[in-house]
């Protein structure tokens, strides 16, 4: 393969580019949500119903009827919902769903390996979901490419122009691709994503996060050379030192033409803990961009409103919609983690 030609041909779109729809996997008794299904199912229904106002929704669920009833009650536009009866281990579509690149002008589904965030959790069913959805016709005639590399969608951010923002803690962790060095990871992603610039963060984490510091919990590309990032202003908080160091790293990054990025700092929600006292990873950075809108996780916190305002300033002209995601962090993820956008031209 001529890597340079491949980089020219391929491009990983930015999330704010036009989309066909969003993929969701429904919580069920076989998932870790089983003890709180009545609390979390309305969150998934609300996300799907909101997305259906703007674009299509693909739902993976073990049984269609009850899910579609729930979506109907939530006010979803059912003419924009497609449900596929497929088995899943869990609901984190961001990390096992397809990463879609443009190969020339044609979309291509990249089916990376998913190993449960470094063999932490069972993932055999989730790892097969992109292939099974493709076989079921969910993506029409869009081609799928199996990639012999472990990679989760939440671990990379693209500006749509060849720059990837990521974290060393995740991508260089030996629990993913122990045979590859940093140079090897960059070469592999350059060939498959068309990337030619990599911005690596070596600081930043969320207590209670199982992903080894996914970038979509910490810092996000936005239009106009903008990066929105989490911050902590409490010196007594365990995150303060690491997130301050991360902010310094972001200040040192430059755009392709050598200018500093426009950095917007997100407020910090109050600590939330589970029944055993473990801190849960609440983050406003885990927002989802869709056609005409941005869906932002909220946590019944005084800083919800300021966070929505920051994201509004990063996405002028889009409707900013808060989604109560307090139930989602019970399983250590949030809104972006349970969704995967499907770029324009993929769905039949």
Contact call for residues 179 and 233 (beta carbons, < 8 A)? no
* pLDDT given at position 304: 98
14-59 tens-digit pLDDT = 999 999 999 999 999 999 999 999 999 999 999 999 999 999 999 9
CA 87 to chain centre: 21
Q: Report the SS3 class of residue 48.
A: helix
Query: Any idea what the Cα angle at residue 155 is, between residues 26 and 32, rounded to 5°?
Result: 30
Residue whose tokens read 């229904």: 45
Whether the per-residue pLDDT at 174 is higher than 80: the answer is yes
275-326 tens-digit pLDDT = 999 999 999 999 999 999 999 999 999 999 999 999 999 999 999 999 999 9
Spell out the domains of the chain, with CATH numbers in brackets: 3-343 (3.75.10.10)
Report the catalytic residues.
Answer: 337
pLDDT band at 122 (very low <50, low <70, confident <90, very high): very high
Whether the per-residue pLDDT at 8 is higher than 60: the answer is no
Contact call for residues 40 and 329 (beta carbons, < 8 A)? no
Q: What percent of the chain has pLDDT over 90?
A: 97
- Lowest mean pLDDT segment, chosen from 6-10, 172-176, 263-267: 6-10
54-82 tens-digit pLDDT = 999 999 999 999 999 999 999 999 999 99
Alpha carbon distance 49, 80 (integer Å):
10
Q: Which pTM does this prediction carry?
A: 0.96
* pLDDT given at position 9: 80
Q: List phi, psi (to 5°) of 188.
A: -65, -40
* pLDDT given at position 1: 39
CA 269 to chain centre: 20
Contacts of 184 (CB under 8 A, 6+ apart): 177
206-252 tens-digit pLDDT = 999 999 999 999 999 999 999 999 999 999 999 999 999 999 999 99
Whether the per-residue pLDDT at 132 is higher than 80: the answer is yes
* pLDDT given at position 114: 98
């Amino acid at each position: 393969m001529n890597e340079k030609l491949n980089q020219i041909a391929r491009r990983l779109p930015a999330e704010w580019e036009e989309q066909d729809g969003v993929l969701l996997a429904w919580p069920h008794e076989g998932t870790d949500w089983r003890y709180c299904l009545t609390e979390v199912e309305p969150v998934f229904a609300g996300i799907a119903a909101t997305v259906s106002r703007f674009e299509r929704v693909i739902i993976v669920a073990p049984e269609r009827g009850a899910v579609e009833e729930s979506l109907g009650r939530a006010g979803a536009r059912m003419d924009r919902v497609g449900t596929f009866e497929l088995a899943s281990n869990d609901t984190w579509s961001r990390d096992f769903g397809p990463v879609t690149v443009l190969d020339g002008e044609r979309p291509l589904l990249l089916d990376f390996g998913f190993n449960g965030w470094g063999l932490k959790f069972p993932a055999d069913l989730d790892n097969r979901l992109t292939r099974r959805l493709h076989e079921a016709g969910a993506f029409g005639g869009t081609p799928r490419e199996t990639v012999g590399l472990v990679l989760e969608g939440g671990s990379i951010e693209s500006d749509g122009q060849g720059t990837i923002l990521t974290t060393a803690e995740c991508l260089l962790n030996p629990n993913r691709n122990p045979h590859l060095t940093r140079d090897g990871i960059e070469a592999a992603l350059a060939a498959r994503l068309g990337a030619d610039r990599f911005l690596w963060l070596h600081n930043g984490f969320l207590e209670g996060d199982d992903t080894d510091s996914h970038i979509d919990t910490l810092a996000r590309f936005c239009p106009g050379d903008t990066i929105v990032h989490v911050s902590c202003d409490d010196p007594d908080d365990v995150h303060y030192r690491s997130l301050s160091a991360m902010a310094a790293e972001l200040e040192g990054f430059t755009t392709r033409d050598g200018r500093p990025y426009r950095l917007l700092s997100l407020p910090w929600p109050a600590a939330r803990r589970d029944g055993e006292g473990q801190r849960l990873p609440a983050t406003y950075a885990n927002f989802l961009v869709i056609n005409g809108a941005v869906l932002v996780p909220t946590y019944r916190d005084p800083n919800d409103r300021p966070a929505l305002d920051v994201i509004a300033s990063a996405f002028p002209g889009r409707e900013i919609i808060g989604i109560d995601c307090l139930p989602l962090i019970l399983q250590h993820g949030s809104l972006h983690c349970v969704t995967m956008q499907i770029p324009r031209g993929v769905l039949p």
